[in-house]
Chains A and B, each alone.
Chain A
Amino acid sequence: MNTSEFDLQCENLTKHFASVRAVDGVSFDIPAGTFFSILGPSGCGKTTLMRMIAGFESPNSGDIKIKGKSVLDTPPNKRNVKMVFQHLALFPMMNVYENIAYGLRCNGASKSVIKTKVADVLERVALPDVAKREIHQLSGGQKQRIAIARCMALDPDVLLLDEPLGALDLKLREAMKIELKLLQHQFNTTFVYITHDQSEALVMSDHVAVMNEGKFEQIGTPQELYHEPVSAFVAGFVGDANRWSGTVSAVHDGRVQFTTAQGLTLNGINKGDAHAASDTVSAFVRPEFIKLSDANLTNTNTTAGNNNEGHNSISGRIDSLLFNGANSRLLVRVDSNELIEADVTLTGGLNDPKAGENVTLVWPHEQTMCF
């Protein structure tokens, strides 16, 4: 494949601090013009990875290529990779115009070029009138956009974003997610976005890499990560899931039957390595796949059974109801005393489930992901 199709490539990148391997053999290619997220819990090495791409750390081994050319010997101020910092790092002693002009001046642009470029980029982030404002006069969302504008004025090959939404309040964060995605489309530049928030990564990205303990667990589209996770870590980290660990009692045809420590017997399908009887297994079920069974099906008294063909079904009692509009959720305490989360649609009518009711939870075997 022609290497110039990729804006950013990392090959077997490794960085260790003393004996800690912060980044351990990471490889990936980012096609031009895509929104790529690196998702991982804090301390997984994602910030170190980003600092290596920006040039603030040098890798112990491996290579970083931008537009097909290795940049290992290029100092940070000569790399055409710009970064939006976690706290934005806008310069408080300069106004908005000067903040954006700073990078252009460093590149030796002429006064008139700077003027048109600053006006142009401010137009593109939809803040045409703030050039003369001081940084402290801007709102959180405006600062965000200026920080992006400051980088985009330099036409970078890759824009790195280091959890820039972390400091914003919830409402603004939701709005900025959409805005960032739109800005990425508009500038058509490769964005590499670092976050520990799986919803940010899923909503905005074309591709997401899930990182854990210095390694990439999986790279894929948000849908792939959500529905086809390759490891227990990805299944647990991306999206909500009910989680069980248990012992395999029978395997046939890719189906796994296992018993949890509390005595539930469930069926699932293998997503990771093949399992044999008496292996330990981790199983994940997304709350939206768990349904309340129809009343005429609930007359079985078994705590767990497979009387619904191809379905797991468990009876229990609604412990509490977490109302959140369309994303409302039930906490059901099953007979083995575990809590299971299930998504429900609440219409406000009389048929809505209520706390204290006895219910039976049903979901297909295929939606029980076993690792």
Chain B
Amino acid sequence: MMVSDGKKLGLFLLFTPFALWIGLLIILPHVGMFILSLKEKVAPRVYEYGLDNYINFIQEPIYWNTLLRTGVMSLLVTVLTLLIGFPVAYYIAKIAGKRSKGALFLLCLIPLWVSDLIRAFGWILLLRETGVVSKSLQSVGLIDTPIEFLYNDATVVMGLIYTVVLFMIVPLVSTLDGMDNEMIEAGYNLGGSRLTVLRRIIVPYAMPGIVAGCIVVFMLTAGSYLTPILLGGKNSSWFTEQIYDQFITRYNWESGAAFGFVLLTFTSFVVWAGLRLSGQTLSSTVAKS
């Protein structure tokens, strides 16, 4: 009895920080926000419960257009990140030698040592009208007048890919690393061309890593604030910007809270749909890598 009680206490103590973190910092605020999102202001300091904030969101096209735009752009970023990250991960996991593998992986992690903000300002220094790129193009004579590279969708997408590509590479490297080289050779040996081996063997094998990477990247992108604002300016119309507006500019916390829940529901739905389409489950992907 003593031993099992001691064990129970140990488990309890180990579990406590996690439970506190989940309870106090995740569940409690969300419950508070949810309650807040159901309140509507009928008169100064007089509130009633109702779905008005959500109805408002549906009735105003600019809101749900922004949400859809954010979703589509995030999916685009996710797909492009996968296309860029997969070859990089494949090279690190399968082609690079044992020794250079660690170095390359570390190299991928280096950007994380600098804050998001500094990295975004780095892009601004390069891309603004008086920035490095514009100036150099002028000095070689390719363009006559300075060009503003900032504040357009392409820049936002590029900046987002740059910030999230790492989160695609890490799970991909770990799944591809676990793949026996024999498997690829068997694919060729049995008559497969390069394309067949990639399509029928490597990609299906790496599917858990691909889905895990895509989920993380999509969630990070759809919920990002800094990069779209700094690189896209007011034109970026990212949905997080709308939430920020409601909370800070308009001081309409009820509506902001409702928007927050709309975003959460929307991204969760996209992830669910993605899992269904790829035939994967959360436990076989994110939980594994």
Contacts and interface: CB of A to CB of B under 8 A. Distances in A.
Q: Looking at chain B's contact residues, is the secondary structure mostly helix, strand, loop, or mixed?
A: helix
A323 interface: no
B87 interface: no
A76 B188 contact: yes
A122 to B, nearest CB: 16
Contact of B190 (A56, A75, A86, A154): A154
A188 B153 CA distance: 65
A77 interface: yes
A106 interface: yes
B201 A106 contact: no
A91 B199 CA distance: 13
Interface string B187-199: 1111111001000
B190 A102 contact: yes
Which interface residue of B180, B205, B207 has the most chain A CB atoms within 10 A? Answer: B180
A93 interface: yes
B116 interface: no
Nearest to B184: A89
A75 B193 CA distance: 10
Contacts of B207: 93
Given A77-B191, A106-B191, A154-B191, A86 B182 contact: yes
Interface in B146-199: 180, 182-183, 185-193, 196
B186 A85 contact: yes
Given A87-B180, A87-B182, A91-B183, A82 B192 contact: no
A78 B193 CA distance: 9
B204 interface: yes
A150 B191 CA distance: 12
A93 B180 contact: no
Which interface residue of B182, B186, B189, B191 has the most chain A CB atoms within 10 A? Answer: B189
B200 interface: yes
Contacts of A54: 185, 189
Nearest to A81: B189
A86 B189 CA distance: 14
B191 A89 contact: no
Chain B contact-residue range equals: 10 to 19
Interface in B200-227: 200-201, 204-205, 207
A4 interface: no
B89 to A, nearest CB: 18
Contacts of A150: 190
A160 to B, nearest CB: 9
Contacts of A107: 191
A169 B85 CA distance: 41
B288 to A, nearest CB: 14
Contacts of A151: 190
A365 B172 CA distance: 66
A131 B200 CA distance: 19
A89 B192 contact: no
Contact of A83 (B189, B201, B204, B205): B189
Nearest to B204: A93
B37 to A, nearest CB: 43
Contacts of B190: 77, 82, 102-103, 106, 150-151, 154
Contact of B182 (A77, A89, A154): A89
Given A92-B205, A106-B196, A85 B191 contact: no
Contact of A77 (B183, B189, B200, B204): B189
Contacts of A102: 187, 190, 192, 200
Contact of B180 (A77, A89, A106): A89
Contacts of A103: 190-192
Contacts of A89: 180, 182-183, 185-186
A106 B205 contact: no
A60 B182 CA distance: 23
A298 B162 CA distance: 88
Nearest to B207: A93
A106 B251 CA distance: 63
A93 B189 contact: no
A76 to B, nearest CB: 5
A82 B189 contact: yes
Contacts of B192: 77, 102-103, 106
Nearest to A80: B191
A94 B187 CA distance: 13
Which interface residue of B180, B190, B191 has the most chain A CB atoms within 10 A? Answer: B190
Given A82-B190, A150-B190, 18 more contacts: A54-B185, A54-B189, A75-B188, A76-B189, A77-B189, A78-B191, A81-B189, A83-B185, A83-B189, A85-B182, A87-B182, A89-B182, A89-B185, A91-B186, A93-B204, A102-B192, A103-B191, A154-B190
Interface of A: 54, 56, 75-78, 81-83, 85-89, 91-94, 102-103, 106-107, 150-151, 154
8 contacts: A76-B185, A77-B191, A78-B191, A85-B186, A89-B182, A91-B186, A94-B204, A106-B192
Interface pairs A-B: 6 shortest CB-CB: A103-B190, A106-B191, A89-B186, A89-B182, A85-B182, A93-B204
